[in-house]
Structure 1
Amino acid sequence: MKNPILFTLFYCISILSFAQEIKIVDKPITYDSNRVRLSLQYLKERHGIIQNTPTIQPKIIVLHWTAAKTFSSTFNAFNPAKLPNGDRKDIAIVSSLNTSSQFMVDRDGTIYRLMPENYFARHVIGLNYCAIGVENVGSADFPLTDAQLKANIELVKYLSKKYNIEYLIGHYEYTKFKNTSLWKETNPKYQTGKNDPGADFMLKVRNDVKELNLKGVPTK
């Protein structure tokens, strides 16, 4: 298309059309003053970032699985602002802020938005301050579905057109960002082992969003 004005108009219409096609159901978890306070504290103490609002500038999309079999069980786990007493001792040692993510995809492919997309969520060590998390109901023993695959592809495309997304990774790849400028975790020894959402799932998603030219793990 040689006419730059026509090209720009076509591009804008394409983005608007895609935004209208994707269906997202808003089902917010509790994001009260307590969660705001804990999120700001986490940003300061874990990422070394001081700010007045619990917002992020998304650069990374991180795909996860919930390790649970139902949407409701994970939603109920994410909903309290604080980790329940005695729960997740491996991460509770650094903060009482509960885990969460911006999105969760149910087994039938329904995309739920759990909070505003640019709000802070605790879902990936070292990168929360710039990462949008997408949880998928499932696990290694409860494989993710074709409907979830399709929904993740649509969501990655939607988010990449809306924000300045540079990276698309699986949760199991997050430690590859250590020793890069994006990694911001004040305790160099703090990390947990992850294998979600599986290498096969990530390969399928990446193959279907190749045109976005998103990076995977950093190359040294």
Structure 2
Amino acid sequence: MPADLPPLNLLPDPLPYESRLESRAPEQVDLVVIHCTELPDLKTAREFGESVLYQESGTGNSGHFYVDRDGSVHQYIQPRYVAHHTRGYNPRSIGIELVNTGRYPNWLDSRHQAMDEPYTALQITALIRLLQELSAQYPRLQFIAGHEDLDTTRVPASDDPSLEVARKRDPGPQFPWGDVLAAIRLVRLQAAP
């Protein structure tokens, strides 16, 4: 990765329910969780993010930031709000979603667990730039993890319930952990067994 990264192309685009999410102090944030959308494009990810899944609060599941294949960074939720993106870690974390097909559309089919789409160089450069900016803004931010590091649940496969598959595999085997970790000051966190 080049030492001088281009400026971050941040596009604020708040979800309709953003203000209904729980707010938090910056000191609560010590973790960034990297996801991939496991959807075909940003438009589909946005539609999913806008879906209200929790009737009581009128909110849904979403990361804070979405990094598209062209390197653009879309902020769906301000980090001052707790987003629903990783079970058990939301109050302390910022969720970053990378647009990538992952296992789409057969997420839990045992015959379709490969995650073959590589992340683009523009995506990874934008991600690193975003992580560097977040590190400067959140002094207690010290950890980074993949969704697969923190949610290791196995579930019955959709094609054969006698088989189990990982509930979450993102960001997956194509994610360049070495390059990203070499360019930031955050330490990779793994869930306790």
1:149 counterpart = 2:159: no
Q: What is the rounded CA distance, in whole Å, between the counterparts of 1:219 and 1:80 in structure 2?
A: 28
1:80 maps onto 2:87 in alignment: no
User: What secondary structure, in the 3-state scheme, does the structure 2 residue paired with 1:64 have?
Assistant: strand
Match of 1:90 in 2: none
Structure 2 runs not aligned, ≥5 long: 103-114, 153-165
| Match among 63, 83, 86 for residue 121 of structure 1 | 83
Where does residue 14 of structure 2 map in the other structure? 28
- Alignment partner of 1:193 is 2:179: no
Aligned match for 1:55, one of 17, 20, 24 = 24
Partner in structure 2 of residue 167 of structure 1: 143
Q: Deviations over 1:22-53 (max 9, x none)?
A: 221111111267xx2xx4xxxxxxxxxxxxx4
Number of matched residues?
A: 157
Secondary structure of 2:149's aligned partner: helix
- In 2, Cα distance between equivalents of 1:32 and 1:151: 23
Cα distance change, pair 133–146 in 1 and its aligned pair in 2 (3 A): same
- Residue in structure 2 matching 1:137, options 94, 99, 110: 99
Q: Alpha-carbon deviation of 1:145?
A: 1.0
**In the aligned structure 2, how far is the partner of 1:32 from the partner of 1:118?**
10
Alpha-carbon distance in 2 for matches of 1:32, 1:150: 27
**Structure 1 unmatched runs, 5+:** 1-17, 40-52, 85-94, 177-191
Distance 1:31 1:62, change over 3 A: same
Aligned counterpart, 2:157? none
The 3 A distance-change label for structure 1 pair 96 and 208 is same
| Equivalent-residue separation in structure 2 for 1:198 and 1:172 (angstroms) | 8
Q: 1:66 aligned to 2:37?
A: yes
> How high is the sequence identity, in percent, across the aligned residues?
27
CA distance in 2 between counterparts of 1:218 and 1:80 reads 29
Q: Give runs of ≥4 in structure 1 deviating > 3 Å.
A: none
Question: Is the 2:145–2:190 contact (alpha carbons within 8 Å) kept by the matching residues of 1?
Answer: no
| Counterpart selection for 1:98 from 52, 60, 70 | 60
**Gap change, CA 1:96 and 1:31, over 3 Å in 2:** closer
Q: CA deviation at 1:64?
A: 0.6
CA distance in 2: counterparts of 1:218 and 1:64, whole angstroms: 14
> Is the 1:105–1:137 Cα contact (8 Å) retained in structure 2?
yes
Larger radius of gyration between Structure 1 and Structure 2: 1
Normalised TM-score (structure 2)? 0.71
Give the secondary-structure state (helix, strand or coil) at the position aligned to 2:187. Answer: coil
Flag the 1:175–1:62 CA change in 2: closer, same or farther, 3 A: same
